[in-house]
Amino acid sequence: MVRASTILRSRASWRATAGRLWAFPAAVSLASLAACASSGTQADMGASPAARATAAPAPAAAAPAAAPKPISIISATAPVPDPRVGLRAGWMDAGEALWNMRLVSATEPPDGFIDRSKPGDFAYINSDLAFDGNYVIQGNFWGIQIWDVSNPEHPRAVTALVCPGSQNDVSVYRNLLFVSVESPAGRVDCGTQGVQDSVSPERMRGVRIFDISDIEHPRQIAAVQTCRGSHTHTVVTSPDDPDDVYIYVSGQAPVRSPSEMEGCSAMTPDQDPNSELFRIEVIQVPLAHPEQAKVVSKPAILEGLTEAAEHGPSEVDVEAAKKEAAEAKAAGKYTADIHGMERVMPDRYVNHWLDSLVAARGGSGAPTAQDSALLREQLQGMIDKMMEPPAGPGGVRPGPVQCHDITVYPEIGLAGGACAGYGLLLDIHDPVHPRRLAAVQDSNFAYWHSATFSNDGSKLLFTDEWGGGLQPRCRVTDNPHWGADAMFRRSGDGLDFVGYYKMPAPQTSQENCVAHNGSLVPVPGRDIFVQAWYQGGISVVDWTDPTHPKEIAYFDRGPMDSTKLLGAGSWSAYWYNGHIYSSEIARGLDVLDLVPSGLLSKNEIDAARQVRFEQLNVQDQQKLVWPKSVAVAGAYLDQLERSDGLPAQRLADARRALERAESLGGSERAAVLTGLARELEAWAPLAGDRIKVERLASTVRGLAGAGDAVAEAR
């Protein structure tokens, strides 16, 4: 998600954030945009009294409100009509729809991380997830929650660490927990009182590092400050450097004053070669002394890109904005045009600007009619100056000045950068100096948000967070290519576009919905992606053929409120060790399972469950490797049957041979499996799916050499 306080110089970047600025004005710090100094804001920190961070065991969450249990529809074809349409609104008792999935558990946030009197409270947004053994680490704008999921049916909150600093995105490596902080109200000491001064050594904007050797009592050991804060970050490992781990930092806040952090420069590169613009920051963390972590490079991976083409606002949004603006102007409010839409200026920022005009003329007290008239006269020009990136050499407008998120795939030495107006392919063989290989743009994309590789690295999926995550962008009137996924094939060092996917169920205007975070589901032989769509729920899509991606399962709830939009829904939906975990922005932590259907067999699900991680950060993508098991062999057979990749008789013969081998042991079993492997290898050249038959043969041959130990992998 793009934070509400984000102010970008790139027009493409700004459009993704503009919608939320007006939908959630209390969370925004626009003061830095005006030609006057800001004293900082703690609006997104809530109004709690000063307190230092604590990491005591969390109180048990209250039981969810009673609601009818949803029935999961199991079928090989999508249900018609779509049960996601027209679901009952509610907070903890919203209507639910499931297709080829099962809701294992839905656990509310622990006390202290939810305001039960204020649905959709922006201060307590749940954000991203990381995984460590039997623990799920969940970021929240108010701090960090750690769940023991040894029993997925009853997750148990073991830690509720109060440490405000949105977004508090999390990653884990060995005994270290990394946390992103971007809010100008974040404090080094994790205090909740915010930071009042515009320049302060108490402010924390960067990456916190915690020691989680005792995971129920995290201990902050470092706070690495960065010039633009850390909106998101990515853990990067290098096979050539076992002594260090690296952090790629994507910070989207305005550049800090050099008075607060020496060396920070908001000037353009032609004015200052040390400009923070068009760069990411790389933090080196010595594993023997993580407290010595520091920024070691600032690669200019966005340098030289020009402003990307993009679509404008939808006609529905333009008309709605016109109506709202007309009503506001009739009531004496201030409005300005922002990229084709007339927007109502939030009162708090108008008041700040008026106070600045009073101070500029040396006055005091309330603004006069002349001050108001002057602001109306100058407001549009001021907004234009803020929103339009300054032209570069030759009058060419530059591209994005920062990335939103980067997914690394160390096994293949590549990364996918989702960078506002562009999607990037990066070479990360030298993790300290990532190098841009390719940059793609698409006028259907408003904001390149995140990236995922196929397991073999041949494809790359990018998401578009059109509207910034807190706007309804899945309505029946919305273009199905806007706010969607775009899929590319790698071609050498380039990327070739091949297709789009968007969650197909139309949502209401009371539901924020757009493409967001997801991960691969480790089904051998297929590329399956589980993905969060905010209040559009969770969608599972098969993108093995990226020209024809197909939804195969889903879970969705009704809106938080039937009369107005309250931010909620799934921020991240990730597969981890046999289950799907979803960080629900307003409702807590969901755990779901895939269930067998005509689109995904029991063998395929069982094979996916055999891929295990000790730790997982989805943006540090790990190569999936499957054991030589009966489930994996069965998964390949099921896929060959589904695709007619082998004649029916040969499929039947192969299944019988596998069943017979399972009933045998020792040399007899090995002989049957070896014979089957030989037959499969002979059939492969003439098969409809030669590659899959070869994979099946390799799995069966591995089974033959595994002896009776194969029983453990079933």
**Poorest-confidence range of 311-325, 588-602, 663-677, 698-712?**
698-712
The CA distance from 251 to 49, in Å, is 28
- Exposure of 108 in the CB half-sphere (CA atoms within 13 A): 19
Buried b (16+ CB within 10 A) or exposed e, 517-535: bbbbbbbbbbbbbbbbbbb
* Centroid of chain to Cα 429: 24
| Closest of 302, 292, 318 to residue 268, by C-alpha | 302
Which range among 19-28, 126-135, 661-670 has the greatest average pLDDT? 126-135
Only one residue has tokens 């984000």, namely: 6
Contact between 280 and 299 (Cβ < 8 Å): yes
Contact between 419 and 404 (Cβ < 8 Å): yes
**What pLDDT was estimated at residue 589?**
98
Kind of pairing between the strands at 414-419 and 422-427: antiparallel
Kind of pairing between the strands at 96-99 and 72-73: parallel
Q: According to the 3-state scheme, what is the secondary structure of 324-346?
A: HHHHHHHCCCCEEEECCEEEECC
* Centroid of chain to Cα 462: 11
What is the rounded average pLDDT of the residues 54-78?
A: 63
**What pLDDT was estimated at residue 13?**
36
The CA distance from 663 to 661, in Å, is 5
Contact between 102 and 580 (Cβ < 8 Å): no
Amino acid in position 204:
M
The CA distance from 46 to 237, in Å, is 36
Buried b (16+ CB within 10 A) or exposed e, 44-65: bbbebeeeebebeebeebeeee
The CA distance from 211 to 469, in Å, is 31
Only one residue has tokens 């999607």, namely: 423
Task: Name the 3-class secondary structure at 242.
Answer: coil
What is the rounded average pLDDT of the residues 640-656?
A: 97
Count the residues in the chain: 714
Measured from the Cβ of residue 239, the count of other Cβ atoms closer than 10 Å reads 9
The CA distance from 690 to 701, in Å, is 16
**What pLDDT was estimated at residue 68?**
55
What is the rounded average pLDDT of the residues 97-105?
A: 98
Question: What confidence tens digit (pLDDT) does each residue in 541-569 have?
Answer: 999 999 999 999 999 999 999 999 999 99
Measured from the Cβ of residue 73, the count of other Cβ atoms closer than 10 Å reads 16
Residue-wise DSSP of 15-54: HHHHHHHHHSGGG---GGGSSS------GGG-SPPP----
Only one residue has tokens 């992606």, namely: 529
Residue 449 has pLDDT above 80, yes or no: yes
Question: What confidence tens digit (pLDDT) does each residue in 175-211 have?
Answer: 999 999 999 999 999 999 999 898 999 999 999 999 9
Amino acid in position 193:
Q
The CA distance from 501 to 481, in Å, is 7
What is the rounded average pLDDT of the residues 126-140?
A: 98
How many H helices and E strands in the chain? Answer: 9, 33
Tokens standing for residue 281: 């920051």
- Given pLDDT bands bounded at 50, 70 and 90, which one contains residue 262? very high
- Given pLDDT bands bounded at 50, 70 and 90, which one contains residue 343? very high
Measured from the Cβ of residue 651, the count of other Cβ atoms closer than 10 Å reads 16
| Closest of 197, 267, 225 to residue 37, by C-alpha | 197
**What pLDDT was estimated at residue 202?**
97
Measured from the Cβ of residue 217, the count of other Cβ atoms closer than 10 Å reads 16
**What pLDDT was estimated at residue 386?**
76
**What pLDDT was estimated at residue 707?**
52
| Closest of 650, 628, 638, 570 to residue 598, by C-alpha | 638
Q: According to the 3-state scheme, what is the secondary structure of 637-654?
A: HHHHHHHCCCCHHHHHHH
Residue-wise DSSP of 451-503: EEE-TTSSEEEEEE-TTTTSSB--STTS-TTTTSEEEEEEETTEEEEEEEE--
**What pLDDT was estimated at residue 21?**
29
Q: State the virtual CA torsion across 613, 619, 625, 626 in degrees, nearest 10.
A: 60
The CA distance from 267 to 274, in Å, is 9
Contact between 513 and 502 (Cβ < 8 Å): no
Alpha-carbon radius of gyration of the chain? 26
- Exposure of 100 in the CB half-sphere (CA atoms within 13 A): 22
**What pLDDT was estimated at residue 47?**
35
Tokens standing for residue 291: 């407290």
- Given pLDDT bands bounded at 50, 70 and 90, which one contains residue 711? very low
Contact between 398 and 305 (Cβ < 8 Å): yes
Compare 14 and 461 and report the one with higher pLDDT.
461
Residue 627 has pLDDT above 80, yes or no: yes
**What pLDDT was estimated at residue 70?**
74
Buried b (16+ CB within 10 A) or exposed e, 333-368: ebbbebbebbbbbbebbbebbbebbbeeeeeeeebe
The CA distance from 110 to 105, in Å, is 15
Residue 212 has pLDDT above 50, yes or no: yes
Question: What confidence tens digit (pLDDT) does each residue in 585-624 have?
Answer: 999 999 999 999 999 999 999 999 999 999 999 999 999 9
**What pLDDT was estimated at residue 647?**
96
List alpha helices for 281-388, DSSP H. 315-330, 347-360, 369-387
For the chain, report the end-to-end CA distance as a whole number of angstroms: 39
Measured from the Cβ of residue 117, the count of other Cβ atoms closer than 10 Å reads 6
Helix axes 648-662, 690-706, angle to 10 degrees: 10
**Average pLDDT of every residue of the chain:** 89
Residue 48 has pLDDT above 70, yes or no: no
The CA distance from 688 to 520, in Å, is 26
Tokens standing for residue 607: 């094979």
**What pLDDT was estimated at residue 392?**
72
Which residues on neighbouring strands pair with residue 140, listed in sequence order? 126, 143
